[in-house]
């Protein structure tokens, strides 16, 4: 049942206000104003398609969501989380949201088109990254995490599929549909669904499995899993099925392959810590400062991270 206060129904008018409040004659764009290209990604509730603005020639990625399906499956809240979190982000390491619109059947989110696709594709293609490339990408992912946490957003589903690469081979974090917005909880409002969300099995934190609660530190757990995967070529916890993967996670059951660089090993061990409060990076600003000071990041120029050319992947 679609109510008039369903936020999804307001998506268009909200952004219309944003985009045309000072120019009431500006026509709101619709899906017909774009020439659609190839499919970039498919999820259970959405399809991301390459798109070119017929007027300006600019290229985008349009995330198209099926309204009926979303309302039926009670995912309206998640669509709004994705829109609202992305809308307030302005960072080179995070996919930009340009605007949203809708027609009778679909909600559309116009996003930055990251031309080089998913980080996962490069891990698969190359097998693994060397220490220098791993340091570069881990630094960019960490800088993006630091920014979203500063904005009061926990991503909760960081993984190589959700880390896109632009034409400069810099990262763009995407998929905020399962993010959690901190500090906006009205007293008495329960947030069970948000707290019971479980991300992708291999990158899920032990606290999410045990206490059904994610915190900023949960993103640092995922960072540890991704760092491990960049070097080893596979995530640290992978069972024959989801349940076996979860068992491995809650028992911290993983080993390092031979030749794993000691400095990276030391950082992974400090990120893959069961107690989220003891994880490197936990503890607010000071925790992040400690994490960025780990010897693994020695030589990283955090201030010019997004101006530096990406190292060539070998
Ligand atoms: N796949 C999913 N979203 C994408 C985007 N914004 N750019 C490129 N590929 C994508």
Query: What confidence tens digit (pLDDT) does each residue in 87-143 have?
Result: 999 999 999 999 999 999 999 999 999 999 999 999 999 999 999 999 999 999 999
Q: How many CB atoms lie within 10 A of CB 208?
A: 23
Q: How far is the CA of 293 from the centre of ligand 1 (A)?
A: 32
Beta carbons of 161 and 121 less than 8 angstroms apart? no
Predicted confidence at residue 13, as pLDDT, reads: 38
Q: Which atom of ligand 1 is nearest to the CA of 40?
A: 1
Q: Can you read off the two tokens belonging to residue 80?
A: 């709004």
What pLDDT is stored for residue 28 in this prediction? 81
Distance, in Å, from the CA atom of 238 to the CA atom of 307, rounded to the nearest integer, reads 35
Q: Catalytic residue among 6, 53, 130, 157, which?
A: 157
Distance 1 CA to ligand 1 centre (A): 31
Mean of pLDDT values over 274-286: 98
Instruction: Tell me which H or E stretch contains 50.
Output: strand 46-53
Question: Which residue would you say has higher pLDDT here, 177 or 14?
Answer: 177
| DSSP state string for 181-194 | ETT-PPTT---HHH
Give CA–CA dist 144/220, Å, rounded: 11
Mean pLDDT along residues 8-19: 38
Q: What mean pLDDT value characterizes the chain? A: 89
Which residue of 164, 169, 172, 177 sits with most ligand 1 atoms within 8 Å of its CB, as the best mutation to test the pocket? Answer: 164
Our answer on whether the CB atom of 217 is closer than 6 Å to any ligand 1 atom is: no
Mean pLDDT in residue range 198-210: 91
pLDDT for position 50: 98
pLDDT at 270: 98
| Residue 154 backbone phi and psi in degrees, to 5 | -100, 130
Q: Which residues contact 19 (CB under 8 A, 6 or more apart)?
A: 26, 28, 99
* Ligand 1 mean position, distance from CA 101 (Å): 18
Pocket lining: 48 vs ligand 1, CB cutoff 6 Å: yes
Q: For position 7, what pLDDT does the model report? A: 34
Smallest CA separation from ligand 1 atom 8, residue? 114
Residue 150 annotated in active site: no
DSSP 94: B
Q: How far is the CA of 244 from the centre of ligand 1 (A)?
A: 30
Mutating to test ligand 1, I would choose from 36, 37, 41 the residue with most ligand atoms within 8 A of its C-beta, which is 41
- Tracing tokens 């009670």 back to the chain, one arrives at 74
Atom of ligand 1 nearest to the CA of 112: 6
Local confidence band at 190 (pLDDT 50, 70, 90 cut-offs): very low
Instruction: Look up the ipTM and state it.
Output: 0.96
Work out whether the CA dihedral 265, 266, 267, 270 comes out positive or negative.
Answer: positive
Tens of pLDDT, residues 237-264: 999 999 999 999 999 999 999 999 999 9
pLDDT cut 70: percent of the chain above it: 88
Residue 63 counted as an annotated binding residue? yes
Q: How many CB atoms lie within 10 A of CB 90?
A: 10
């Amino acid at each position: 049942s679609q109510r008039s206060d369903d936020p999804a129904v307001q998506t268009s008018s909200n952004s219309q206000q944003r985009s045309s409040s000072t120019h009431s004659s500006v026509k709101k764009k619709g899906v017909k104003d774009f020439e659609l290209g190839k499919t970039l990604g498919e999820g259970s509730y959405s399809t991301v398609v390459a798109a070119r603005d017929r007027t300006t020639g600019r290229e985008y990625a349009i995330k198209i969501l099926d309204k009926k399906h979303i309302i039926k499956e009670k995912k309206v809240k998640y669509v709004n989380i994705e829109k609202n979190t992305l809308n307030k982000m302005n960072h080179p390491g995070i996919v930009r949201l340009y605007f949203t619109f809708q027609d009778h059947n679909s909600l559309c989110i116009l996003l930055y088109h990251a031309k080089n696709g998913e980080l996962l594709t490069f891990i698969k293609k190359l097998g693994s990254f060397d220490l220098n490339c791993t340091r570069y990408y881990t630094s960019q992912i960490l800088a993006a995490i630091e920014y979203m946490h500063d904005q009061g957003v926990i991503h909760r589903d960081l993984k190589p599929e959700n880390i896109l690469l632009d034409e400069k081979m810099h990262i763009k974090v995407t998929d905020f549909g399962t993010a959690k917005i901190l500090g906006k909880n009205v007293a008495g409002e329960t947030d069970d669904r948000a707290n019971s969300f479980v991300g992708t099995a291999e990158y899920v934190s032990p606290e999410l499995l045990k206490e059904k609660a994610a915190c900023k530190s949960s993103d640092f757990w995922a960072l540890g899993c991704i760092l491990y995967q960049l070097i080893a070529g596979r995530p640290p916890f992978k069972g024959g099925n989801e349940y076996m993967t979860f068992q491995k996670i809650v028992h911290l059951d993983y080993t390092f392959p031979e030749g794993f660089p000691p400095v990276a090993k030391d950082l992974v061990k400090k990120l893959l810590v069961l107690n989220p409060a003891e994880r490197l990076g936990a503890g607010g600003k000071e925790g992040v400062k400690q994490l960025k000071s780990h010897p693994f990041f020695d030589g990283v120029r955090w201030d010019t991270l997004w101006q530096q050319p990406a190292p060539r992947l070998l």
